[in-house]
Structure 1
Amino acid sequence: MGKATTAYLLTCAAIGVATGLLIIPMTALSTLTYATFPPLGALTAGAWVIGFVIAMRLIEKPGAAVLTGLISGLVAAPFSASGPAIVVTNVMFAAFIELPFLVTLYRKWGRGLYYVGALSAFVLYALWTVTSANMTAFPWWVVVLYVVGLLASAAVATWLGLVIADRLRAAGVARLARRRAAAADPAPVAPVAEG
């Protein structure tokens, strides 16, 4: 990650707090609907990636999503039915957002990588919930709607996170927290001729 600046840490903290505050009511709604009609709860799933997408897009530095995930989990934990486990959940979702960038060694920042991370996270989450969390008790069409709802929510949240981050960047937000592309290598100095 290199040297973490104060601006980087504060930007991740601000996005993490906002994400944690978003996740608190979404967790409650998801928990309430899971037992009765899971596709409704699936529509809230994007709340678990939007802040991490914003952090990665806005800052474009290693660790931005994971740090934001940790902070959002700590904010949400006292108010979540799952308690401290939500910290682990948030960090896992954040890690999936960050994973495609890690694979490219943080050299590529294309929009498609955000979708790869978010959709990968929710494909695995769908497989886990359908097979391990008693989803088979519902009719097949409810399970299909649930999986489609999860993936649609992830795609929409990723798109929205990219739009928000791009608008924030255009407004000059987090300029100091962003990566320094070529600024780290100063231009070579020409030797002075003696004469």
Structure 2
Amino acid sequence: MGKVSTAYLMTCAAIGVAGGVMLAFAWWLSTALFATVPFASVAIAGLWMMPAVIALRLIRRPFAGLLVGLVLGLVLTPFYTAGAIATTLFWAFFPELPFLVTIYRRWSRWLHYAGAVVAGVAYPILAAQSFDLWAMAFPVLVAFFVLCALSCLVATWGGIVIADRLAAAGVARLARRSAPRAA
């Protein structure tokens, strides 16, 4: 991993806090949707991935997504429960996974989308009991998976756009690796 600089830690903290502001509202909305229309709550599931995607795309350093997920969970804990830490780390794991598999040697844009697809398939399976997924009719089940995957893909796209614009503005220049930016 190399040296862990203050700039790296502070950039991750800033992204985590900003993500916490966004997710504070999204968490409330998701809870309300889950209580009334559980199927619809999965449409915003990808928002939980966005801060980790931003960190990984902007900083391009190992474990940046997980560190942001930890900060994000700590920010949300006073408003929800300590379970927020586990939730945000869970969602930060998926964007981090493709880079971990490549041992952090590749930073291609498609790896971000690979993490989104894995999350979009894994989340419904792991949360199947909460949504009573296996009792749904097959077309509804397929729609659920597609909606979750689309949510993750759109949030990943948004995270990439935000990170690229921040990088173009010079944000996190000191926190980034010195290697040239990946496509």
Match of 1:99 in 2: 97
Counterpart-to-counterpart distance in 2, 1:135 and 1:45: 16
The answer to whether structure 1 residue 165 and structure 2 residue 160 are counterparts is: no
Taking only aligned residues, the RMSD between alpha carbons, in angstroms, comes to 1.8
Give 1:103 deviation, angstroms.
1.3
2:137 and 2:94 map into 1 onto residues whose CA distance is 30
The answer to whether residue 6 in structure 2 is matched with residue 6 in structure 1 is: yes
Shift in Å at residue 66 of structure 1?
Answer: 0.5
Shift of 1:65: 0.3
TM-score, with structure 2 as normaliser? 0.90
Name 2:112's counterpart in structure 1.
114
Q: Is the 8 Å Cα contact of residues 98 and 114 (structure 2) preserved in structure 1? A: yes
Residues 73 and 84 in structure 2, CA contact (< 8 A), matched pair in contact too:
yes
- The equivalent residue for 1:23 is 23
One-letter identity of the residue aligned with 1:14: A
Counting only pairs closer than 5 Å after superposition, residues 8-157 of structure 1 correspond to structure 2 as: 8-80=8-80, 83-131=81-129, 133-136=131-134, 140-157=138-155
- When structure 1 is superposed on structure 2, of 150-159 and 21-30 the one drifting more is 21-30
Residues 39 and 149, structure 1, Cα contact 8 Å, conserved in 2: no
Alpha-carbon shift at residue 38 of structure 1 (Å): 2.1
The alignment partner of 2:36 has SS state of coil
Task: Tell me how many residue pairs correspond in the alignment.
Answer: 180
Percent of matched pairs sharing the same residue: 50
Helix, strand or coil: the match of 1:177?
A: coil
Q: Aligned partner of 1:173: which letter?
A: V
Does the 8 Å CA contact 2:38/2:131 hold for their aligned counterparts?
Answer: no
- In the TM superposition, residue 148 of structure 1 has moved relative to its aligned partner by 2.0
Q: Hey, which of these two has a bigger chunk of helix by percent?
A: 2
CA contact (8 A) 2:24 2:76 kept: yes
